[in-house]
Structure 1
Amino acid sequence: MAGITTLIDAPDGVTVISERTFCGVPDRIVTDLQIQTYGPPKGRWSRRILTYSFDPANAKGVTETQVSNAIVNAFFQWQAAGGLFSFDPVAGNGDIRLAFGGREVYSRFGSPGGVLATAKTPEFGIVLFDSSESWTEDKLRHVALHEIGHALGLRHSDSPSSLMFAAETGAQGIDEESRDALRRLYGWRDPTRLEDRATSDRPALAAAGRVTLSSSTVALHMVWKGIDGDPGLYESTFTDGAWSAQSRIHGQFGSTHSPGLASYSITSDGISTGLILACRGVEGDPGLYVAHNEGMGWPSSPTKIPDVGSSSRPAVAALGPTPYVAWKGVVGDSGIYWTRRTEMGWQPQQRVQDVGTSHSPALVVFRDKLHMFWKGIEEDERMYFSKFVKNTSSWEPQQEVLYTLVNADGPTTFHVGTSRGPSATVDGNRIMVAWKGMGFDPGIYFSMYDGTTFTGQIHFNAATNQGPGICSFNGITHMVFRGAEEVDSMWWSTL
């Protein structure tokens, strides 16, 4: 009745939900790459201390006290979800305003069993409930939790276990996915300038060390190239909540770009990890070089990968003990090439079929599979990705990073775009991809990828002219980047 399906003898672990889509917020078309709970780029509040007010008039089936209990509890739960917001009730005209109404306030209201509520994204602050419905306190709390999520910038989720799922689940609390979405939307700290260092490119990050039953030496490392005219490479380590003073990597290390950096397994059990650095040569030398640091420092000079060259920085990652390097071709060659080191040495380079880029790609290992992300060729600012098939030593056909939203005019597909190469890291159970905006847009954006779908892009409130470097370490995602307006400045933030 009223769109409810009854499932007889449901197996343990099966969630029984309503087939009715109770929320009036426009949904997206389901595609192979579909938006999840993360908000669109403009769906975010510019402040964290908000007020709310509600009008219980016209609420059918519940008393004024029950309305108050449900609404106050819903805001309390969102305030407790990561501690990112503070919500204060006021008598009227709050930042977020909740009320009951019929067809006069929303055209899809006025018929019991239809749409229960709707909300506007930030910073409109409007949540409306259908006054024709017969409410209970629990039902109102569930719907209010969902709609406040929209009012904070979250969109619908594809997961039936999520509070932000568009059909009724009766959830009386905020699930982990919704908390995570809110954290990624608002959880970045204001960037800090690293005053003692500068670069003409973007830094790279990786974590490595040894873990035992009694101790851990795993630390986050940063490497980067000096400013224009200085081809030297520099490094720093994150310890006790701060970056160590910069030090130059001594020996015959130099490059036109910042290097790529990754960790790799030193021991078969993966307990000990070292660092592998990959870089292009200095001006006039398009060759690619690698060096290993197993905790005793860098060698006096890197080793050259035979018979390869690039016009940009290479990307590096390791599947267990095996390092992989990928790069753009030399000047005039937009192809993407790759190689890996075996017991016999570096294999001859191979070209990734039918793809190209004007900048450096990004490599990351996720669920024991190598993934690559890159910008298109020349004026093509779209972003692409592919997965490496280990047993055939080949890359899957490229796919474009897309997400689709639905508005009053119908579905719209958005292209994720950048004027520089992206960066990627494994953050929890997903890949985070971060990049600079298109053309003259210095904004930093990121999206999450779970191996099947991408979230919509989220804007990070900072600017760069080179793109960020990112790495997740001890449950915290770090981002470092060169500034946009102040020449050569370096900045750092954490999620």
Structure 2
Amino acid sequence: MKGGDWARKSAFSWSFSGNVPGVGGSNVVVPILRRAFGTWSTATPLLRFAQVTNGADIRINVGLLGPNIAGLTTPDGRQITITNGFAFAPTAASGSPSLLNVVTHEIGHALGLLHANTGNSIMFPTTSAQETLSRDDFDGIRALYGWPGQTPLNFTTEQAPALCVCGDTLAMVWRGGGDNRNIWIATSDDGLHWTQQRAFTDVGTIGGPALAWDGSRLWMVWRGTGNDQGLYFKTSRDFFVHDNPAQAPLSFAGSSHGPRIAIVRGVPTMVWKGINNDHQIYFSEFRSGRWQGQQIIPGVGTAAAPAICQDINGGIRLLWRGVPNDQALYTTAAPPGSYAWAPQSTLTWYLLGNGTTVPVSSGTAGSWGGPSLTVETSQPNFTTSGESVIHAAWRGIDGDQGLYFSQLARDQTGAAGESLNWSSQAKIPNVGSSQPPSIVSFKRQLVLAWKGVENDTRVYAIST
């Protein structure tokens, strides 16, 4: 990995200028570059990239290089030069040499990889028709941009903790460990070092509470204790220190699990599973000083708490596990200002074959519990600066307490068009939980928090 200010970097900006002989200018080269960057992100979804106009981390241009040198990357990884000494084809399917092969190779150097000695590796030192990553490439980039080790926190819980970004402060709430039904809160500046926990002595829950920040107020929602499946909320301007109103019930709603909340286009929006054996998914918005009554997401169901965040286009994005005996993860979205929910689809990713834009393999995610979602707005992803990327995290299926991660971005796999695509799931190494994790994007780092496995009630965290 690069040193200095790149030592822990996982979000990179890039720019391109020039005309590639045989291919053309930005209008045809940039889509190839997006596909190349997306190839590396598919291998390790922690990596995120954004195209910018000025001040890029990785600058790509066209210039004169030595004989038979197709591309060259400076040792610090900040400059990639594509030769103007001979003509390229966009991909190997169009002829040779392949621009996609060369730029994917040079991006690997920019990220810190050296040459490989296996002929089917993208990092093999000569140009070829190879345009996807080999096992050596996968292992190499994951070694450089893998997850850091977990940090145990001085908190205990029986359920999934909830994280929320509040400007420059990160807040976390959780239900206590053992028989403790209190809700607890702490704050952090980095996701790993937290203030002393404080208890809400006036409220309690048997499930996991949830948080959302609207820019000035912190919203907390939860279900009751014991047999009380009612839903409650309160909101505060100072993390519930002095501004700590009494709980307010949602008289029209109930859930066997804790609800989830997000701010969607400035509006607090809550989603939850029904009570007892009611597996329908409901939602409500807080408008005109009150929650507006529950509405049903048509044609879907879940056995756990669903996840919600603002979608990439500004609408609502949901992710949930299926009804009992169905542990697949499903997603749907509604456009801004509308409740016209798209038909549900599974969280599925597709991997391209070498020399083709046709997917040759795919995978589908599954989870025992409810997943977690967060949207990273105006941060690096795979297309242009200012777009969003959605991050998802979940626990594995029944018997698998591993934690997994994926992200949804525009044109992630480099396929034709501007469709949204999920990255292949990445297992977070050497961690586990009996409950779902929580995930947020905080100060351009991903922060996750979760309860330990089985009888381990400690809370753990990772910050990338």
Could you tell me which runs of 5 or more consecutive residues in structure 2 were left unpaired when the two chains were aligned: 1-19, 45-65, 80-91, 105-112, 380-387, 411-419
How far off is 1:256 after superposition? 0.5
Tell me the CA shift for residue 241 of structure 1: 6.8
2:162 partner amino acid: A
Match of 1:445 in 2: 404
- Indicate the larger mover: 247-256 or 434-443: 247-256
Say if 2:164 and 2:172, in contact at 8 Å, map to a contact too: yes
Residue 222 of structure 1 is matched in structure 2 by 172
| AA matched with 1:412 | S
Shift of 1:146: 6.9
Flag the 1:126–1:201 CA change in 2: closer, same or farther, 3 A.
farther
- Tell me if 1:459 matches 2:403: no
Partner of 2:118: 127
Displacement of 1:391 in angstroms is 3.2
What is the letter of the counterpart of residue 397 of structure 1?
A: P
How far did residue 394 of structure 1 move?
A: 3.7
2:342 is matched with which residue: 396, 399, 407?
396
Residue 202 of structure 2, aligned match among 244, 248, 252: 252
Q: Counterpart of 1:395 in 2: which secondary structure?
A: coil
Matched, 1:474 2:448: no
TM-aligned CA distance change 1:379 to 1:144, over 3 Å: same
Q: Aligned to 2:27, what secondary structure does the other structure show?
A: coil
Residue matched to 1:200: 158
Cα-to-partner distance string for 1:289-309 (whole Å, 9 max, x where unaligned): 111111262524221112210
Pick aligned residue for 2:228 from 258, 265, 285: 285
Partner of 1:365: 310
Match of 1:322 in 2: 267
| Aligned-partner Cα distance in 1 for 2:276–2:179 | 20
Q: Residues of 1 paired with 2:149 and 2:279: CA distance?
A: 36
SS at match of 2:119: strand
- Residues 183 and 432 of structure 1: CA distance in aligned 2, closer, same or farther (over 3 Å): farther
Among 435, 440, 449, the residue aligned to 2:394: 435
User: d(CA) in 1 for partners of 2:323 and 2:344?
Assistant: 13
What is the DSSP-based 3-state SS (H/G/I as helix, E as strand, rest coil) of the residue aligned with 1:152?
helix
Corresponding residue number in structure 2 for 1:387: 333
Q: In the alignment, residue 137 of structure 2 is paired with which amino acid?
A: L
Root-mean-square deviation (Å)? 4.4
Corresponding residue for 1:32? Answer: none
Structure 1 residues 79-111: Cα deviation after superposition (integer angstroms, max 9, x where no partner): x89xxxxxxxxxxxxxxxxxxxxxxxxxxx9xx
**TM-score, scaled relative to structure 1:** 0.65
Q: Letter of the 2:306 partner, please give it.
A: P
Give aligned pairs, total: 375
Q: 2:217 aligns with which of 274, 283, 286?
A: 274
Say if 1:340 and 1:432 are closer, same or farther in 2 by CA, change over 3 A: same
- Deviation at residue 412 of structure 1 after TM alignment: 3.5
Higher Rg of the two aligned structures? 1
The answer to whether the Cα contact below 8 Å between 2:191 and 2:462 also exists between their aligned partners in 1 is no
Q: Tell me, yes or no, if the aligned pair for 1:316 and 1:363 is still in contact at 8 Å.
A: yes
SS in 2 for 1:229: coil
Could you say what secondary structure the match of 1:317 adopts?
strand
Q: 1:143 to 1:475 in 2, by over 3 A?
A: farther
1:424/1:433 contact within 8 Å kept: yes
Matches within 5 A, 1:2-21: 6=22, 13-16=26-29
Q: Which of these residues, 138, 142, 163, is aligned with residue 153 of structure 1? A: 138
C-alpha distance 354-189 of structure 1, shift in aligned 2 (>3 A): same
Q: Distance in 1 between matches of 2:134 and 2:400?
A: 29
Aligned-pair identity (%): 24
Distance 1:470 1:362, change over 3 A: same
- Judged with a 3 Å threshold, the aligned counterparts in structure 2 of structure 1 residues 254 and 394 are, in CA distance, closer, same or farther, namely farther
SS in 2 for 1:283: coil
Q: CA deviation at 1:375?
A: 0.6
Rounded Cα–Cα distance in structure 2 between residues aligned with 1:309 and 1:299: 23
Aligned partners of 1:304, 1:74: CA distance in 2, in Å?
60
For the pair 1:418 / 2:418, whether they are aligned, the reply is: no
SS in 2 for 1:373: strand
1:453 partner letter? N
Give the Cα–Cα distance (whole angstroms) in 1 for the partners of residues 158 and 405 of structure 2.
22
How much does 1:17 deviate? 9.4
CA drift of 1:253 comes to 1.4
The Cα offsets for residues 238-260 of structure 1, whole Å up to 9 and x where unpaired, read as 13675334423334211011201
Do the aligned partners of 2:446 and 2:463 also contact (CA within 8 Å) in 1? Answer: yes
Mapped contact 2:401–2:453 kept (Cα < 8 A): yes
Q: Deviations over 1:437-473 (max 9, x none)?
A: 1221111111110151111111111211112101111
Q: SS at 1:197's partner residue?
A: strand
Partner of 1:57: none
AA of the residue aligned to 1:282? T
* Residues 1:411 and 1:248: Cα distance change in structure 2 (over 3 Å): same
Q: 1:17 to 1:389 in 2, by over 3 A?
A: closer
Aligned to 1:334: 279
Aligned-residue offset at 1:318: 1.2
Q: Measure, in 1, the Cα distance between the counterparts of 2:353 and 2:228.
A: 51
Matched, 1:487 2:456: yes
Contact 1:464 / 1:483 at 8 angstroms: preserved in 2? yes
Instruction: State whether residues 193 and 492 of structure 1, in contact with CA within 8 Å, keep that contact through their aligned partners in structure 2.
Output: yes
| Mapped partners of 1:129, 1:336: distance in 2 | 47
* CA distance, structure 2, for counterparts of residue 230 and residue 245 of structure 1: 20
Counterparts in 2 of 1:393 and 1:404: CA distance versus 1, 3 Å: closer
SS at match of 2:200: coil
Q: In the alignment, does 2:250 pair up with 1:305?
A: yes
1:356 aligned to which of 301, 316, 321:
301
Alpha-carbon separation, structure 2, partners of 1:450 and 1:17: 17
Whether contact under 8 Å (2:191, 2:461) holds in the other structure is no
Contact kept? 2:223, 2:259, Cα under 8 Å: yes
* Contact 2:192/2:462 (8 A) holds in 1: no
Is the alpha carbon distance of 1:337 and 1:74 closer, same or farther for their aligned partners in structure 2, counting shifts above 3 Å?
A: same
Deviation at 1:486, TM superposition (A): 5.2
CA contact under 8 A between 1:36 and 1:456: conserved in structure 2? no
The CA deviation at 1:354 is 0.2
Letter of the 1:290 counterpart: F
- 1:204 maps to amino acid: A
1:278 Cα offset (Å): 0.7
Q: Residues 306 and 36 from structure 1, CA distance in 2 versus in 1: closer, same or farther, beyond 3 angstroms?
A: farther
Tell me how far apart the structure 2 counterparts of residues 17 and 432 of structure 1 sit (CA, whole Å).
24
Aligned with 2:343: secondary structure? coil
